[in-house]
Amino acid sequence: MSSKTKYIFVTGGVVSSIGKGITTASLGRLLRNRGFNVTLQKLDPYINVDADTMNPYQHGEAFVTDDGAVTDLDLGHYERFVDINLTKKASVTTGSVYRTVIEKERRGDYLGATVQMIPHVTGEIKERIKDAAKGRNGEPDADVVIAEVGGTVGDIEGLPFLEAIRQFRKDVGHENVMYIHITLIPYVGPWGEVKTKPTQHSVIKLREIGIQPDVLICRTRLPISQEMKNKISLFCDVEPEAVVEAQDTDTIYEVPLTFEEAGLADLVVRRLGLPVREPDLAEWRQIVARIKRPHYVVDVAVVGKYIDNGDAYISIAEALKHGGIANDARVNLHWVDSEELEQVPASEALAGVDAILVAPGFGARGVEGKVAAAHYARTNNIPFLGVCYGMQMAVVEFARHVAGLEGAHSEEVVPDAPHPLIHILPDQKDIVDKGATMRLGSYKCQLLAGSLAEKLYGTSHVHERHRHRYELNNEYREQLARLGMVCSGLSPDYRLVEIIEIPAHPYFIATQFHPEFRSRPNRAHPLFSGLIAAALQRHRRLYAPEPESAAECETDAPAKAVLAVQRREAANGSESEAANGSESETTQRNGRGDFNAEAAEALEL
């Protein structure tokens, strides 16, 4: 399109976890739907070089890119919403910037200059932002770069990044840079008084740094009146149409549609001088319709070690939802602590579920609970998917209870196990540093002809993303195969086992890699759509909608004050909505299959 790349910087104020990642991803989706080449980037102020050694309880999931970067979980949102594969360029941390600056100083690249925050650190940050726009040939190929600055305005560790993006407008031109600031609009008191003062103070803090936002996105639980938007516009010095309401939605995948209706993308296009194009949102609207009005419902247990933090397995949760979208089913997730499964019988903790997924993890804590979950799924013919550590524990379970290998375990848990079914990769034995030293990134996997894996994927080989140090011990492969556990996915040199499955089971498959990282709402990963299809085949139930969210607010006094207004407004347009809605509903319902036909065929249902 244009020879000049446009840059959008997204910041957040008032509170952390305000939705910068979903906002960034949603805007990327809207611009891509207009035909623009979009890339995204996360600027993280923490001093870790990457997310590889960060505690999932504290930081959430570590997301892995094709080229092996271990990053913040927001990159997962970017990839899922925009449907692109990002690279190492998409993740910038304070630690990686400082390391590069210090390495340059040691080499003498600065020619004896005193190395300072400005211009050296901010200069390195700006170079990485520009680098994100470049393609493989080193030339800019992105029409738009959307960069999210992590943390909250006012955090001391974020100041170098904010200073860098302030300078960036001067470097590339005012017409090529746009600032979007996300704030919280809280309500207080028994009648739900909406307050704008936190937003005003957040913008003041941003202005102190020298950044005037072009757009304010206001997170709110309750609707914001036009009068309130005008007030925010006046005190924060943004145009009234640039005050965008971001009310809570039923699903994160509805956010792009909300922003489209609010005119956010059109505002961005005008402000940056991009060509005006009509968006194609048909596919996205269908996705949201299937999420909100599915035909079926399934219950899936996710057995893991880090379930107290919902973000620790965010990609797995989203991939299961994608499998539900593909099968027109609501997926109810039941989080099961693997440590509790060591104390409570699996028949009790997992009773009533239609499928079981054993999640990744590290270390000895809770591993016997994962083994118990795999045993329960295998012996009760419950559809099962194991991911990374989940695959390893499924192998351990099979070795113990089918092969009769007493004491079978992983060397990660029991270094001197009599039967080390899982052992450390040979090239990992002498590694001392923990950060970014595992087997990381995308690797090719050959699929066994006629296997469930090949049928689900519909091809003979795939590329999947990895993050592990341990692997199935080849000395036990033949023994496992003779007893019914097939190694159906292998590395091209046949040295590493990537997928195992049990053909005699309705759906028992597990992977050493992380299939969840490649799943998309519009393109569910085959292993997840297959799991949901198998769950539906085992126990197909029609979905009964839950009470409307507004009705659930009846007991919430602040929301109750607004509810009456909403109902009056809804009543005024109910007659026309009913006429249009009935036709739309019929269109959405007709032509749907019972569940994913390709997955069903692969399962020979």
Give how many domains the chain has, as a whole number: 2
The verdict on whether omega for the bond into residue 119 sits within 30 degrees of 0, i.e. cis, is yes
Cβ-contact 26, 38 below 8 angstroms: no
Question: Position 333: which residue type?
Answer: L
Q: Which of 252, 286, 320 is the last residue of a domain?
A: 286
Backbone angles phi, psi at 327, to 5 degrees: -110, 10
Contacts 24+ apart (CB under 8 A), 200-208: 200/232, 200/235, 200/236, 201/14, 202/13, 202/14, 202/153, 202/154, 203/13, 203/235, 203/236, 203/237, 205/13, 205/153, 205/154, 206/11, 206/13, 206/153, 206/162, 206/181
Q: Which of 493, 518, 539 is the last residue of a domain?
A: 539
Q: Give the pLDDT score at 431.
A: 76
Q: Sheet containing 470-472: which strands, arranged edge to edge?
A: 408-410, 419-424, 470-472
579 in a structural domain: no
- Measured in whole angstroms, the distance separating CA 96 from the mean position of its chain's CA atoms is 23
- For residues 161 and 158, give the distance between their C-alpha atoms in angstroms, rounded to a whole number: 6
Q: What amino acid positions are annotated as catalytic residues? A: 388, 514, 516
191 and 277, same domain (yes or no): yes
Q: Give the pLDDT score at 559.
A: 45
Backbone angles phi, psi at 389, to 5 degrees: -60, -30
CB atoms within 10 A of CB 416: 8
User: Residue 568: which residues within 8 A CB-CB, separation 6 or more?
Assistant: none
The sign one gets for the Cα dihedral 22, 80, 40, 120 is positive
387 and 279, same domain (yes or no): no
> How many helices (H) and strands (E) are present in the chain, helices listed first?
22, 24
253 and 363, same domain (yes or no): no
Measuring CA to CA, which residue among 535, 132, 604 is closest to residue 324?
535
How far apart, in Å, are the Cα atoms of 375 and each of 4, 171, 222, 407?
Answer: 57, 60, 47, 16
413 and 385, same domain (yes or no): yes
175 and 212, same domain (yes or no): yes
558 in a structural domain: no
- For residues 371 and 388, give the distance between their C-alpha atoms in angstroms, rounded to a whole number: 13
524 and 404, same domain (yes or no): yes
- For residues 534 and 456, give the distance between their C-alpha atoms in angstroms, rounded to a whole number: 12
- For residues 354 and 129, give the distance between their C-alpha atoms in angstroms, rounded to a whole number: 46
Q: Give the pLDDT score at 575.
A: 39
Which CATH number characterizes residue 356's domain? 3.40.50.880
- For residues 329 and 293, give the distance between their C-alpha atoms in angstroms, rounded to a whole number: 9
248 and 327, same domain (yes or no): no
- For residues 590 and 286, give the distance between their C-alpha atoms in angstroms, rounded to a whole number: 12
Q: Give the pLDDT score at 343.
A: 95
Cβ-contact 536, 328 below 8 angstroms: no
232 in a structural domain: yes
132 in a structural domain: yes
Kindly report the three-state secondary structure assignment for every residue of 1-59. CCCCCEEEEEEECCCCCCCHHHHHHHHHHHHHCCCCCEEEEEEECCCCCCCCCCCHHHH
391 in a structural domain: yes
Which CATH number characterizes residue 72's domain? 3.40.50.300
Cβ-contact 149, 162 below 8 angstroms: yes
Block mean pLDDT (10 aa), the chain, length 605: 83 93 98 97 95 87 96 97 97 97 96 95 97 88 96 94 98 97 91 89 96 97 92 96 95 97 97 96 96 96 92 97 98 96 96 97 94 98 97 98 96 95 84 79 97 98 96 96 98 96 98 98 98 93 64 43 43 41 34 53 54
258 and 321, same domain (yes or no): no
Q: Which of 228, 253, 286 is the last residue of a domain?
A: 286
Q: Give the pLDDT score at 137.
A: 81
117 in a structural domain: yes
354 and 377, same domain (yes or no): yes
359 and 500, same domain (yes or no): yes
Kindly report the three-state secondary structure assignment for every residue of 286-307. HHHHHHHCCCEEEEEEEEECCC
DSSP 8-state assignment for residue 552 = H
Q: 188 pairs with which residues across the strands?
A: 193
Backbone angles phi, psi at 528, to 5 degrees: -80, -40
Predicted TM-score (pTM) of this structure: 0.89
- For residues 330 and 321, give the distance between their C-alpha atoms in angstroms, rounded to a whole number: 7
112 and 166, same domain (yes or no): yes
252 and 333, same domain (yes or no): no
How far apart, in Å, are the Cα atoms of 328 and each of 240, 354, 379, 536?
Answer: 40, 15, 28, 10
Residue 236: domain span:
6-286
- Residue 163 token pair: 């200073």
- For residues 540 and 578, give the distance between their C-alpha atoms in angstroms, rounded to a whole number: 30
Most distant pair of Cα atoms in the chain: their distance:
75
